[in-house]
Amino acid sequence: MRTRHKTIARKTGIILLVLALLLPMLPARSVRAEGGPVIKLHYHREDGLYDPWDVWMWPEGGEGAGYAFAETDGEMVATMEAEPGVSKVGFIVRTQDWEKDIAEDQFIDISEMVSGTVHIYVESGVPGYTKEYGEDAVTGTKLKTAVYNATKKVITLTLTGDMSEEQKASIYVTGRQGDVEIEMISDLPGEQYTYEVLLAEELDSYRNYRIGFEDAQYPVRMPNLYSTDAFEAAYTYDGDDLGFTYTPGHTDFRVWAPTAESVTLNLYESGNNWLEDLREEIPMTRDVKGTWIAGVDGDLNGTYYTFTALLDGAMVEACDPYARTTGVNGKRAMVIDLDATDPAGWEKDGDPHAGSRITDAVIYEVHVRDFSVDESAGMKNPGKYLAFTETGTTTANGIATGIDHIRQLGITHVHLLPVYDFGSVDETHTSAGLYNWGYDPVNYNVPEGSYSTDPSDGAVRVKEFKQMVQALHQNDLSVIMDVVYNHVYSSNDFCVNRLVPGYFSRVNEDGTYSNGSGCGNDTASERSMVRKYIVDSVCYWADEYHIDGFRFDLVGLLDVDTVNDIVEEVHRDHPNVIFYGEGWSMNTAVTKEGVVMATQQASARTPGFAYFNDNIRDGLKGSVFNTGEVGYVSGARDKERAISMSFLADETWSVSPSQVVQYASCHDNMTLYDRLAVSRTDASETDLIRMNNLAAAIYLTAQGVPFMQAGEEILRTKVKEDGTFDSNSYASGDEINSIKWSTLDDTAYRLVNSYYQGLIAFRHTHPSLRLATAEEVRDVVTSIDGLDKNITGFLIDGTRVAGETAETICLLFNPTTTSNVVNLPEGNWNVYVSDTQAGTEAISSLEGYATVAPISAMVLIREEAPQAAEGSDEVAEAVRKGNPGAVTKGIMAGILAVAAGIAVFIGIRSRRKK
């Protein structure tokens, strides 16, 4: 996940710390009747094409939303009602795919507006705007911020202008327990429009207050004590029994809620939170380190429960943060006998690649619905966990789909997009037509219900998830889980924040939640109980569900200490589990001094964690932020050095190849084929496929950890109804996102699939491509100097690599549109990868020089020449079946394959767009 593109339509909101949860219950007093300013944004385009466009607007530091244009008096106008006190409103005119009219965020200054209407006129393609006040506009001084200083017993006010004596006289401070006496209001020397309100008594930092100014109330930002040494010393609980501890005769409950005045355990008949089926309320007892406990006799297996905390006089109900499973949509936790959900043989289940290094992995990223929901998949459980248990599935023409396809491809690790309980799909409805990638966490330790056959029964999702993992393991596939600990779906609804208001999230100076994630709330991983929660969660998935790896979304928003604690704790019992994530650098408001974030640049501080390499991703095909830009394989020039460094996993930020994830596409942005097609509209279909295969050849033979998006090997595309490519399909539905397995019935697609299959098989065969340390790479891999412009090449000394059977491997990459002749070192060189074939059996033999075809790769091994090729009929049959390992040697095989490729490539573009 990058930033705004994936997450902007999520319902996560930026709220004032604690206040959005509790302040609505404060005593009503003088609420402004007319509300805040109303912004009417007028948008004009010379082409008159307004259908795909709307405007995304947000109060500075606050939640954003899309606003549609409506025709008003011949103009296209979008209307936003701002809250009182808002001084700036950001806006982006964009399409639903986030094509922007102007690339930069723009801001409307309404600091002088008290209420009424302001008209903003925007011209397409022209930065800036024109502002006009409506007849009802009221301008003047208004309150921007109110911040409490406990040491001085002072609330500091920042306004938009000078405050009159009458306005000073209107000020009052109130809380749930009534008004607070004001001793004095004075100007703050040296600060413009800033005043201090001296109070007669100290405010309680764990309560909430509002300040009245004229005829409106504003929240007072209280000091944040959660990250102080004193708070953590008093309330850091290190036990392993948070949540519930079940036995058939008794269940104990423990919840962390240090600021609560009381906590109650609620037992329910069902997991449906809309039913009034409360069975029992059990008062909990305050225990050590901010925890509350209760015990219940009897067998509670299958019983649903929640906690209700009394916070600053308000009763707040929440799901258990340590819930193991839940009812529909994760509102109520469920007590569960986890052992009873284990499938037969679960005690013997384990990672089929235990003992392998991370560089031995080939990772395949797939979404649960995408994998199986298309009719051509031939699945009995489309869109469900159980689809991963199905083998023997085929297309109409008998070509393997699903698990069989992945296994035959040579994949070692299946990376599942989020499968914890997420909030963007309503589990109360059939999942048909409901789609999301799932980067919207609700309950971190609970499997997503929409992928189960019965989301209303909390035990079903647990059992079916385990069946999926077991089936993958039985098919020699390790399981990686995509986890999103950097933000939550809705900050005010997240269970930890409901029980300990605002604790889980970072806060800006103005009291709003930090938004480095682009999702409205950044996780405060540097706080002790947040760190414990994340570490406990990852360990739980490894322990209970036998997960073999974790991919961390936007891990650059977590701190290095948390990441290292995760790796250390998981590796105590599961030393083979692998870890990687998005180490992008983003601004976030950390709550402590000296916190270092887990970004690429901090890779030396997290030796057990790998990071996605955006340099090779953008270097191969062009920047994901500029779809018109070409990359190394699609026509860019002067990329040799950058591509060489990426190929060697020698980035400025990398410590070793074990920390470098090499890839050309993932769920974010366009598929590889689509991205190439968009930037090279002039290219033939044959050349686009050559570009695709060259990109694959580079990252699948590069040092590091190869990673691919599911379907890349069959030219996956995401075409919208208007014929354009979907670059942000997080909620675009099955029609666009599903893997179209039927394309394998076309020989052209099978050839591409066979090429990938051969590349992966070649990688598995040669440990020289899977070196674990930078020292090894420097010792055995050498860049070839003196090559023609834009050509890159490498020699690998296999004699110095344990287990390597090849004496020397030569890798040549030619992105140009003409053949290129490269002189070879002395000896016989057998070709294993050419422009149309790849595998573990030699295609042809060369001496003296190699002619590398246009837009292609060639990989050769210095060894004795192979025997003569078998008959051409056998070769043609092998190519037809898409089995590169069966392709026999000889130049004739290459010629036949090229001929076959040319024949099937013709006309494929029109077929893809039907």
788 and 820 in contact (C-beta within 8 Å)?
Answer: yes
Kindly name the residue from 482, 548, 582, 712 that is annotated as catalytic: 582
CA distances from 871 to 751, 830, 875, 902 (A): 20, 19, 7, 21
CA distances from 562 to 486, 567, 578, 596, 628 (A): 12, 9, 16, 10, 39
CB atoms within 10 A of CB 337: 15
Kindly name the residue from 349, 390, 482, 553 that is annotated as catalytic: 553
Q: What's the Rg (C-alpha) of the chain?
A: 30
Q: Residue 126, exposed/middle/buried by CB under 10 A (0-12, 13-18, 19+)? A: exposed
DSSP single-letter state for residue 510? T
CB atoms within 10 A of CB 802: 7
**Residue 232 annotated in active site:** no
- Cα(250)–Cα(220) distance, rounded to whole angstroms? 45
- Cα(87)–Cα(60) distance, rounded to whole angstroms? 8
Mapped onto helix, strand or coil, the DSSP state of residue 135 is coil
Which residues are within 8 A (CB) of 247 and not within 5 positions of it... i.e. 6 or more apart?
none
**Residue 582 annotated in active site:** yes
CB atoms within 10 A of CB 230: 8
Sign of torsion over alpha carbons 307, 310, 314, 315: positive
> What's phi and psi for 462, nearest 5 deg?
-70, -50
Q: E-strand spans in 471-612?
A: 478-483, 549-552, 578-581, 610-612
Mapped onto helix, strand or coil, the DSSP state of residue 251 is strand
- Cα(683)–Cα(681) distance, rounded to whole angstroms? 6
Token pair for 306:
């929640």
- Cα(132)–Cα(111) distance, rounded to whole angstroms? 14
> What's phi and psi for 752, nearest 5 deg?
-65, -45
Strands 441-447, 209-213: parallel, antiparallel or unpaired by DSSP?
unpaired
Give the ranges where 394-457 is alpha helix by DSSP (H). 402-409
Token pair for 62:
């606050």
* Largest distance between two CA atoms of the chain: 101
DSSP single-letter state for residue 290? G
CB atoms within 10 A of CB 326: 29
Q: How far is CA 838 from the centre of its chain?
A: 32
CA distances from 689 to 246, 347, 677 (A): 56, 45, 10
CA distances from 91 to 46, 62, 100, 122, 513 (A): 20, 12, 11, 11, 19
- Cα(619)–Cα(647) distance, rounded to whole angstroms? 11
> What's phi and psi for 372, nearest 5 deg?
-135, -5
- CA atoms lying within 13 Å on the CB side of residue 211: 30
- Cα(637)–Cα(815) distance, rounded to whole angstroms? 9
667 and 437 in contact (C-beta within 8 Å)?
Answer: yes
Token pair for 501:
């208001």
> What's phi and psi for 126, nearest 5 deg?
-115, 115
Q: What are the catalytic residues?
A: 553, 582
